[in-house]
Chains A and B, each alone.
Chain A
Amino acid sequence: MNQVLLIFLPVLFALFVPLLYKTFSRIHTGWFVLLVPLTLAIYYARFIPNITEGPYTSTFYWVKSLDLSVTSYLDGLSLLFSLLITIIGSLVVLYSIFYLDRKKEQLHNFYFYLLMFMTAMLGVVQSDHLISLYLFWELTSISSFLLIGYWYNRDRSRFGALKSMMITVFGGLMMLGGFLLLAQAGGSYSIRELIANGSVIADSPYFIWMIVLILLGAFTKSAQFPFYIWLPDAMEAPTPVSAYLHSATMVKAGIYLVARLTPLFAVSEYWIWLVVLSGLITLFWGSFFAVKQTDLKGILAFSTVSQLGMIMAMLGAAGIAFHVESPQKTIFAFAAYAAIFHLVNHATFKGSLFMVAGIVDHETGTRDIRKLGGLMSLMPISFTIAAIGSLAMAGLPPFNGFLSKELFLTSMLSLKEFSLFNFSTWGPILPWVAFVASIFTFVYCLYFLYYTFMGKGNTSKLPKKPHEAPIGMLISPIILASLVVAIFFIPNVIGKYFIKPAVLAMQPQLYETIDDIPIHVQAWHGWTTELQMTIGIVVIGFLLFITLKKWQPIYRFVSEKWSLNGLYNRLMRFADVDSQKLSNLYMTGSMRHYLMYMFAFMVVAVISTLFMSNGFNYSTANTAEVGIFEIATLIVMIIGTLTVLIARTRLTAIIALGAVGYSVALFFIIFNAPDLALTQLVIETVSVALFLLAFYHLPKMSRHEERMPFKINNFLIALGVGVMVTLVALSAQSQKLLPSISQYYKDTVYTKAGGGNIVNVILVDYRGFDTLFEITVLAIAGMAILGMIKLRRPKKEKKTHETK
């Protein structure tokens, strides 16, 4: 139970943040906030030694009758992510204390959003229930939106926030659809139970839909091709946010989801192909375009995209382990280890690089790589951290990136040997893609490092006079950079306590205990193909970097043509402007048009229903005879109606309407309805009198001659309505299915109600409520008429009221 509540600890603490901000305004609010991730990190760290002894679960029922619960499920994979979130969270909060100014910034907002995000992220990685996973997933989107738009008076911040929101929420909704299909097929919302029930789900006809929809969610969140475009724009957020959300945690939610569901979906070749291909394309695309960027954080954003693609590709390769036999199996099982290992490494070095970019921005006033340069001697500590981070990212020894990149190349090379699902045809290309992408990775790492700190930068022209950052700001990146080096020397300690439990959780079918995972990472692993490839990467990458100035201009040509941002903008404009144009086409504001739509729709709907359901019927059985009086009255009525239609003066029209009304009264007499005839006569008289009363005030009977097409349209619609009514009337009277209930009224009108006039007794006795409310209607109409005539607002007053 307390394990679930700890997920909510940050957001509960966030409620007190505004209070702390106001009360202790002399202390930076971040110091209080720092306690939360630290506490959580210590709590989760206690699980490390014995996480393999079984998952720790704890459930909080939310809506029990709907089987909705928040279940915290801690196994190796969740624990690894929880530790990443809390440890990097602590470091980021520490960094932000020195990065954000206590007096100038609205700290309570910042920390509120950040803590909300922390809860959301812990919820995503620990949830076992699909719906609560989705809720936390969307909460990460919302808090990310708020954090990107933190400086909300800047246009670019708002644009970036909206863009990330649109794309990640689109993916989130698709994912929800996939989840619902999954729960439907598997009969449960619990991920554990679904995985145990995997074979049933694989037989579902919607299996492929689940895969595509859930992967859409994972790809949008993890900035995979072609959904990566929100990440570079999200760099408008404060740098601690970029370091935390957009490199170490949130963008790995998609990675987490893919890893978590691999045991369920890896039986499908579509899953493997989609994950591997999108990963490799993203890897190449991101690394290729990172060299184009001139903004420090822009480079880092594209490199994050590229590295996430690399992890994704390895996860796809890991799925193959479910299809092959030993000894090939070991190679692909390897890929899972490599993916998780690189995920940890990326969080360390990318976090430190973002923090360095923030320091450079903070101390020089710019992040533009064209203005920077030559900072090495002025900021030696930052330079050291940046060098460690970039070289780790480039995959050079003695940094952790080297180890995970070797593992990556191993798993990509093994794709060549896999023969199922057409991999024998296309497989050999894949390592080459990885190779080329790694070369570009090497190039942008050098590009980042060289043009910021080395070279002949003119430091006097910078907006601020650069100097080394305060020590508090450097603590977090120093810790991360030391981790980068430390992991290189003790990879197997990390492997035993962090990576292997996570691999065990991801591939439970393959291993019993962590000792079954036959992986021992070594820096020197022999004169292998991977090492030769690394040497090739370094040599070609170095040559490319030296000639950078010569080939960099090609980006101007390439990027304009292949811009996904252009597509996104067009799509947004289409949704906004063009759909408004579309609705302006038919929402004309003219009541007559709307009436036409309604009548036309009614005619089409009723007549087609009538004929499609064989409803039309015609019979003259049980009808009354046609008499001479009826025909005569009918002729009067029709002449009256025609006169109304062609009348040129209002007097003629009113009198003709009266004639129609009196002929209706005559019909009532002929058809034995004396009360109706009386009422109709009186009402018609009063109506005509009313028309005549208003006669002088009413407008002249201007017919406002219409253009011919309009007349024909109106006539056709009117004809349609007439035909419809006639058809419905004919069919209705031709097939009476049940006898009328009126016999009861006739039988009991005297014995039970004590009256002789059945119509009147019905009105005041059997169905008295109708009459009560009909009286109310008349009263309301009377009062409304009185109000309309009596209450008038002078025109002047109206104006002033409107201007208010």
Chain B
Amino acid sequence: MEVVMSFAIGFLFMAAVYLILSKSILRIIIGTGLLSHGAHLLILTMGGLGGEAPPVLADGVTNMADPLPQALILTAIVISFGVTAFFLVLAYRAYQELGTDNLDEIRRILADDD
């Protein structure tokens, strides 16, 4: 399963980078969202996918999933949510002020201001 997941994560990263390299701000933000999904799945996969039960103490359970990567991912999810929300509002404000979401045009407008 880890091998299949490795390819899937690679695909997610590829899609994310392609979106990040585009001109439109909204696509870049969506790209960062995909990138964080990829990263979270990567942490989980690298921890090993072999567990048979959730990491909660219960009678008779011996083969639990690794809890540490899950704790790390939980922290990462919250942080990436904070950053995405911030980016989104930043994009909204930039669009409001400059009237465009095209990176090349934004560069031109800012250069004209100088």
Q: How far is the CA of A122 from the CA of B59 in the complex (A)?
A: 88
Interface centre among B3, B58, B107 (most CB of A within 10 A): B3
| 13 extra interface residue pairs, beta carbon distance < 8 Å, beyond A697-B95, A742-B66, A746-B64 | A591-B107, A634-B8, A657-B30, A668-B44, A673-B73, A694-B89, A702-B101, A704-B24, A758-B64, A758-B67, A759-B67, A778-B79, A778-B82
Given A671-B49, A706-B23, A733-B45, verify A634-B4 contact (CB < 8 Å).
yes
- Find out whether the CB atom of A733 lies under 8 angstroms from the CB atom of B14: no
- Find out whether the CB atom of A661 lies under 8 angstroms from the CB atom of B37: yes
Interface 1/0s, chain A 607-630, versus B by CB < 8 A? 000000000000010111111001
- The answer, yes or no, to whether A475 is at the interface (CB within 8 Å) is no
- Find out whether the CB atom of B17 lies under 8 angstroms from the CB atom of A599: yes
- Find out whether the CB atom of B71 lies under 8 angstroms from the CB atom of A638: no
Closest to B49 in A: A624
**B: number of interface residues (CB 8 Å):** 84
Given A718-B15, A774-B75, verify A673-B65 contact (CB < 8 Å).
yes
- The answer, yes or no, to whether A653 is at the interface (CB within 8 Å) is yes
On chain A, the residues within 8 Å of B49 by CB distance are 623-624, 671
- The answer, yes or no, to whether A169 is at the interface (CB within 8 Å) is no
User: What's the dominant secondary structure at chain A's contact region?
Assistant: helix
- Find out whether the CB atom of B75 lies under 8 angstroms from the CB atom of A721: no
On chain A, the residues within 8 Å of B8 by CB distance are 634, 637-638
- Find out whether the CB atom of A660 lies under 8 angstroms from the CB atom of B37: yes
Given A698-B91, A701-B26, A704-B23, verify A687-B84 contact (CB < 8 Å).
yes
Min C-beta distance of A804 to chain B, whole Å: 15
- Find out whether the CB atom of A591 lies under 8 angstroms from the CB atom of B34: no
Q: How far is the CA of A701 from the CA of B3 in the complex (A)?
A: 35
Min C-beta distance of B57 to chain A, whole Å: 4
- The answer, yes or no, to whether A699 is at the interface (CB within 8 Å) is yes
Could you list which residues of chain A lie within 8 angstroms of chain B, going by C-beta atoms?
A: 589-592, 595-596, 599, 620, 622-627, 630-631, 634, 637-638, 641-642, 644-645, 650, 653-654, 657, 660-661, 664, 667-668, 671-676, 679-680, 683, 686-687, 690-691, 694, 697-699, 701-704, 706, 714-715, 717-719, 721-723, 725-726, 729-730, 732-733, 740-742, 745-746, 749-750, 756-759, 762-763, 767, 770-771, 774, 777-778, 780-782, 784-785, 788-789
- Find out whether the CB atom of A706 lies under 8 angstroms from the CB atom of B22: yes
Given A592-B23, A672-B54, A745-B67, verify A726-B9 contact (CB < 8 Å).
yes
- The answer, yes or no, to whether B85 is at the interface (CB within 8 Å) is yes
Q: How far is the CA of A595 from the CA of B48 in the complex (A)?
A: 32
Min C-beta distance of B48 to chain A, whole Å: 8
- Find out whether the CB atom of A729 lies under 8 angstroms from the CB atom of B45: yes
- Find out whether the CB atom of B50 lies under 8 angstroms from the CB atom of A624: yes
11 contacts between A and B (CB under 8 A): A624-B50, A634-B8, A641-B34, A653-B26, A680-B77, A699-B101, A704-B102, A723-B14, A750-B57, A759-B67, A762-B67
Closest to A786 in B: B89
Given A702-B101, A750-B57, A762-B68, verify A641-B12 contact (CB < 8 Å).
yes
- Find out whether the CB atom of A729 lies under 8 angstroms from the CB atom of B9: yes
On chain B, the residues within 8 Å of A630 by CB distance are 1, 4
- Find out whether the CB atom of B70 lies under 8 angstroms from the CB atom of A673: yes
On chain A, the residues within 8 Å of B17 by CB distance are 599, 717-718, 721-722
Given A672-B53, A758-B67, verify A657-B103 contact (CB < 8 Å).
no
Within 8 Å by CB of B56, from A671, A697, A756, lies: A756
- Find out whether the CB atom of A657 lies under 8 angstroms from the CB atom of B92: no
Min C-beta distance of A718 to chain B, whole Å: 4
- Find out whether the CB atom of A718 lies under 8 angstroms from the CB atom of B14: yes
- Find out whether the CB atom of A757 lies under 8 angstroms from the CB atom of B68: no
Q: How far is the CA of A702 from the CA of B89 in the complex (A)?
A: 18
- Find out whether the CB atom of A667 lies under 8 angstroms from the CB atom of B41: yes
Within 8 Å by CB of A726, from B6, B22, B46, lies: B6
Could you list which residues of chain B lie within 8 angstroms of chain A, going by C-beta atoms?
A: 1-27, 30, 33-34, 37-38, 40-42, 44-58, 64-68, 70-71, 73-75, 77-79, 81-86, 88-93, 95-96, 100-104, 107, 111
- Find out whether the CB atom of B3 lies under 8 angstroms from the CB atom of A730: yes
On chain B, the residues within 8 Å of A740 by CB distance are 47-48, 66, 68
Within 8 Å by CB of B88, from A599, A694, A718, A726, lies: A694
Closest to B113 in A: A802
- Find out whether the CB atom of B34 lies under 8 angstroms from the CB atom of A674: no
On chain A, the residues within 8 Å of B107 by CB distance are 589-591
Min C-beta distance of A742 to chain B, whole Å: 5
- Find out whether the CB atom of A638 lies under 8 angstroms from the CB atom of B68: no
- Find out whether the CB atom of B79 lies under 8 angstroms from the CB atom of A774: yes
Q: How far is the CA of A697 from the CA of B25 in the complex (A)?
A: 13
- Find out whether the CB atom of B21 lies under 8 angstroms from the CB atom of A676: no
- Find out whether the CB atom of B2 lies under 8 angstroms from the CB atom of A733: yes
On chain A, the residues within 8 Å of B57 by CB distance are 749-750, 756-758
On chain B, the residues within 8 Å of A702 by CB distance are 24, 101-102
Interface centre among B8, B14, B22 (most CB of A within 10 A): B14
Cβ-closest 8 pairs across A and B: A722-B14, A726-B10, A781-B82, A718-B18, A729-B6, A699-B101, A758-B67, A762-B71
On chain A, the residues within 8 Å of B10 by CB distance are 722-723, 725-726, 729
On chain B, the residues within 8 Å of A706 by CB distance are 22-23
Min C-beta distance of B3 to chain A, whole Å: 6
On chain B, the residues within 8 Å of A784 by CB distance are 86
Q: How far is the CA of A674 from the CA of B67 in the complex (A)?
A: 11
Min C-beta distance of A762 to chain B, whole Å: 4
On chain B, the residues within 8 Å of A749 by CB distance are 57
Within 8 Å by CB of A690, from B24, B88, B96, lies: B88
- Find out whether the CB atom of B41 lies under 8 angstroms from the CB atom of A675: no
On chain B, the residues within 8 Å of A789 by CB distance are 89, 93
Q: How far is the CA of A622 from the CA of B48 in the complex (A)?
A: 9
- Find out whether the CB atom of A721 lies under 8 angstroms from the CB atom of B13: yes
Q: How far is the CA of A470 from the CA of B54 in the complex (A)?
A: 103
Q: How far is the CA of A590 from the CA of B40 in the complex (A)?
A: 29
- Find out whether the CB atom of B15 lies under 8 angstroms from the CB atom of A767: no
On chain A, the residues within 8 Å of B100 by CB distance are 699
Q: How far is the CA of A485 from the CA of B103 in the complex (A)?
A: 80
Q: How far is the CA of A673 from the CA of B45 in the complex (A)?
A: 12
On chain B, the residues within 8 Å of A767 by CB distance are 71
Q: How far is the CA of A457 from the CA of B68 in the complex (A)?
A: 97
- Find out whether the CB atom of A725 lies under 8 angstroms from the CB atom of B42: yes
Min C-beta distance of B80 to chain A, whole Å: 9
Interface centre among B7, B38, B81 (most CB of A within 10 A): B81
- Find out whether the CB atom of A676 lies under 8 angstroms from the CB atom of B74: yes
Q: How far is the CA of A785 from the CA of B92 in the complex (A)?
A: 11
On chain A, the residues within 8 Å of B53 by CB distance are 672
Interface centre among B21, B26, B77, B81 (most CB of A within 10 A): B21
On chain B, the residues within 8 Å of A674 by CB distance are 54, 56
- Find out whether the CB atom of A771 lies under 8 angstroms from the CB atom of B70: no
Min C-beta distance of A444 to chain B, whole Å: 54
- Find out whether the CB atom of A590 lies under 8 angstroms from the CB atom of B71: no
On chain A, the residues within 8 Å of B50 by CB distance are 622-624
- Find out whether the CB atom of B74 lies under 8 angstroms from the CB atom of A759: yes
Closest to B39 in A: A725
Q: How far is the CA of A532 from the CA of B1 in the complex (A)?
A: 101
Min C-beta distance of B38 to chain A, whole Å: 7
Min C-beta distance of B21 to chain A, whole Å: 4
- Find out whether the CB atom of B4 lies under 8 angstroms from the CB atom of A697: no
Q: How far is the CA of A667 from the CA of B42 in the complex (A)?
A: 12
Closest to A638 in B: B11
Closest to A702 in B: B24
- Find out whether the CB atom of B33 lies under 8 angstroms from the CB atom of A657: yes
